[in-house]
Amino acid sequence: MAFTAKDVMALREKTGAGVMDCKKALTDADGDMAKAADLLRERGIAKAEKKASRIAAEGIVACYTEGNVGVLVELNCESDFVAKNPQFSEIANEVSKVIVKENPASVEALLACACAGATVEEYLKGKIAIIGEKIAVRRFERFETNGFFESYIHLGGKLGVMLDMAGEATDAAKEVAHDITLQIAFTKPAYLTREEVSAETIEREKEVLKQQAINEGKPEAIAEKMVMGRIKKFYEENCLLEQAFIKDDSKKISDLVKAGNVSINKFAFYVMGEGLEKKSEDLSEEVAKQVAAMQK
């Protein structure tokens, strides 16, 4: 399967590996992006599920709760100046209220919902006309709880966490919940428990970890044994309840919730703009384009 320079750059963005390493991995993987990413990990060039180090889009992550319903939403715009405007946060709240009331299944369904005497899509177009920038709802999560919510918004909306807790909202329970939102923001777990990790994911992880050990010069029999220890570490890093508490690494998050007489139903967290790229052009390129256009 053939691949393009765009594929090379996409793999570089995903893994953080160098251009030539990405090109070689894609060549060896016959253009298969997922396989190429695994090859880079096996060669010790990229880390598992590495997030893009550069987040280019602007906007905010906001959390809104009403009764037993909570919403985490990402609203994007074109400039940091607009993102920091209180009016932009108000737009996020208005959209969140619609999500609470209508429970849309997707962003597309949300845009068709009623909002301020129009649809959400029309409401946003009206705000775009006033603000002068494109505004878009990128994604959202909606939770209903029989317990209580805790949320954490970092750096004015650069990252947001919404936590659905089971149990009575005592002062002690709220303190535990707050600590857990900070934990999620800091460690970014992919799962709540190890049971949520699919067998396919674990098998793929084992294959990569085994090949890593072999590439380190370990005999295959030793590599097999090393995999089990590294899989344990995978769970400890990626499953919230198995993580060491960031404020006291002698405790796990499972110990924390037990001491607070509560449990975690589920959680959601967004990093604003993750995976999006803001259009950026070098000034000299822009001038060259304008000159070329004038000469046509």
- Give the model confidence (pLDDT) of 224-235 as tens digits: 889 888 999 999
- Lowest-confidence segment of 10-14, 136-140, 169-173, 182-186 by average pLDDT: 10-14
Helix (H) or strand (E) holding 45: none
What is the CB-side half-sphere exposure of residue 248 using CA atoms within 13 A?
10
The Cα 56–Cα 114 span in angstroms is: 31
State the amino acid at position 41 in one-letter form.
R
Where do the domains of the chain lie, and which CATH numbers do they carry? 1-54 (1.10.8.10), 56-144 (3.30.479.20)
Tokens of 151: 């949320």
pLDDT in tens, 202-254: 999 999 998 988 898 888 888 888 988 899 999 999 999 999 999 999 999 99
- For the whole model, what pTM was predicted? 0.74
Q: Name the 3-class secondary structure at 248.
A: strand
Is residue 163 within 8 Å of residue 240, measured between CB atoms?
no
* CB-based contact 272:54 (threshold 8 Å): no
Interatomic CA distance for residues 125 and 197, integer angstroms = 40
